[in-house]
Amino acid sequence: MSDARHAGPDLPDRDDALALLRGMLLIRRFEEKSAELYTQEKIRGFLHLYIGQEAIAAGAIGVLRPEDAIVATYREHGHALARGISADAVMAEMFGKVEGCSLGRGGSMHIFDAATRFYGGNAIVGGGLPLAVGLALADKMQNRSRVTACFFGEGAVAEGEFHESLNLAALWNLPVLFCCENNLYAMGTALERSESEVDVSLKAASYQIPAWPIDGMDVLAVRDATRRAVDAVRQGGGPYFLEFRTYRFRPHSMFDAELYREKDEVETWKRRDPIPAFSTRMFDAGVVAPEDVAMLETDVEGEIDRAVRFAEEGTLEPVEDLLRHVYTERTEP
């Protein structure tokens, strides 16, 4: 792993680079559109944007196999899209329509999809970690070489559930990949104001879990680290912990006045925007041309426009169905 961090991953080929770029762009534009729709009150509730962190979902999730599982947080549109859940289904969900991936019952914070083993969409900070441990336990007990990737923010590190879950995963040698997206803030609380030990990887290592900090603004670094980690996990090496160092460019949610950080700091980080960083690098290496990006933009725009239309045209669940899905509907024998 340390080799990888020094040598750096290989340059991707054109198709690969375009796919990565498209992955990030789709999330970026989707999120920008969501913000717009929120101000139009088409999307309601809490909305947490992933802008700035796209390299992580786009880089890491592509490494997973279809049979692997994902557990995420309320800031999970990016992960959902990267996993291949359609923009249609995610957008419709945020519109509260039946065509949404959770029937409109979940909203922005609760994207779920059985087909891609996407287990949410958990709005309790730290709440997804025990779930991921359990999914991995089930795989281990059933001798399946599947991986469960669990995404969470660095704010979750302070929660008791983090501690208990990492210990369980390590103690039982379970196939969990812990992906901590360290964007330096939990709402308005900076990491150094919430942790006595700010080196998150070091904390994870205290459970005897291999743990590395990774540049989360570099999609190739993310992918490369994830590959190595996933391989180790799949081969039965037990849990792995990756700390992706990143930054959210937008407010925590749509209600945040951002009193807790300097504009300067935001601007400095924006200079490391993962999308231009990657595209510029690909231009420089001659792998991708600016025209390609323009084409991707058009393509992505189309996909999102269609998603918005799909969501607009979606239907509302009949009010009479209010009490459904509290318990499983069984067809009587």
Q: Where does this chain bind ligand TPP (CB under 6 A)?
A: 75, 123-125, 152-156, 183, 185-187, 252
Q: Which CB, 130 or 205, lies closer to other proteins?
A: 130
**At its nearest, how many Å lie between a copy of itself and the CB of residue 243?**
14
Q: How far is the CB of 18 from other proteins (least distance, A)?
A: 32
Examine residue 236 and tell whether it contacts a copy of itself (CB under 8 A).
no
Report the residue closest to ligand TPP, judged by CB.
153
Q: Does residue 301 touch other proteins according to CB under 8 A? A: no
Q: How far is the CB of 173 from other proteins (least distance, A)?
A: 12
Shortest Cβ 72–other proteins spacing (Å): 13
Among 16, 159, 301, 317, binds a copy of itself (CB under 8 A): 159
Contacts 24+ apart (CB under 8 A), 136-143: 136/169, 136/174, 136/175, 136/176, 136/239, 137/172, 137/174, 139/174, 139/175, 140/172, 140/173, 140/174, 140/175
Residues 6+ away with beta carbon under 8 Å from 242 = 60, 177, 178, 179, 180, 211, 212, 214, 225, 226, 229
Phi-psi region of 295 (alpha: psi -120 to 50; beta: other; left: phi over 0): alpha
- Residue from 186, 200, 225, 233 binding other proteins (CB under 8 A): 186
Site string (177-216) toward a copy of itself, x via CB under 8 A? ----------------xxxxx----xx-xxxxx-------
193 near other proteins, judged by CB under 8 A: yes
Q: Does 202 bind other proteins (CB under 8 A)?
A: no
DSSP string spanning 58-116?
HHHHTTS-TTSEEEEESS-HHHHHHTT--HHHHHHHHTT-TTSTTTTSS-TT---BTTT
Using the rule CB under 8 A, is 129 a contact of other proteins? Answer: yes
Residue 75 touches which of other proteins, ligand TPP, a copy of itself, none (Cβ within 5-8 Å per kind): ligand TPP
Residue 228, binding choice from a copy of itself, Mg ion, ligand TPP, none, Cβ under 5 to 8 Å by partner class: none
122 burial type by CB count under 10 A (0-12 exposed, 13-18 middle, 19+ buried): buried
Q: In whole angstroms, how close is the CB of 162 to a copy of itself at the nearest point? A: 7
CB-based contact 48:108 (threshold 8 Å): yes
* Total residues interacting with other proteins, rule: CB under 8 A: 78
Q: Which residue in the set 16, 32, 99, 164 belongs to the binding site for a copy of itself (CB under 8 A)?
A: 164
**Interacting positions 14-53 with other proteins (CB under 8 A):** 44-46
CA dihedral 269, 226, 203, 155 (to 10 degrees): 50
- Strands 176-182 and 189-190: what pairing? unpaired
Q: Which one-letter amino acid corresponds to residue 164?
A: E
Binding positions for a copy of itself, 305-324, rule CB under 8 A: none
d(CA 65, CA 317): 33
In angstroms, rounded to a whole number, what is the distance separating the alpha carbons of residues 250 and 91? 19
Partner touching 170 among a copy of itself, Mg ion, other proteins, none, CB below 5 to 8 Å by kind: a copy of itself
- Residue 194 vs 283, nearer CB to other proteins: 194
**By CB under 8 A, residue 171 contacts a copy of itself:** yes
Minimum CB separation from a copy of itself for residue 206, in Å? Answer: 4
Question: Beta-carbon neighbour count of residue 306 at 10 Å?
Answer: 14
Residue 266 region, left (φ>0) first, then alpha (ψ -120 to 50), else beta? alpha
Q: Which of 166, 148, 147, 169 is nearest to 156 (CA)?
A: 166
Interface residues with a copy of itself (CB under 8 A) are 158-164, 166-167, 170-171, 193-197, 202-203, 205-209
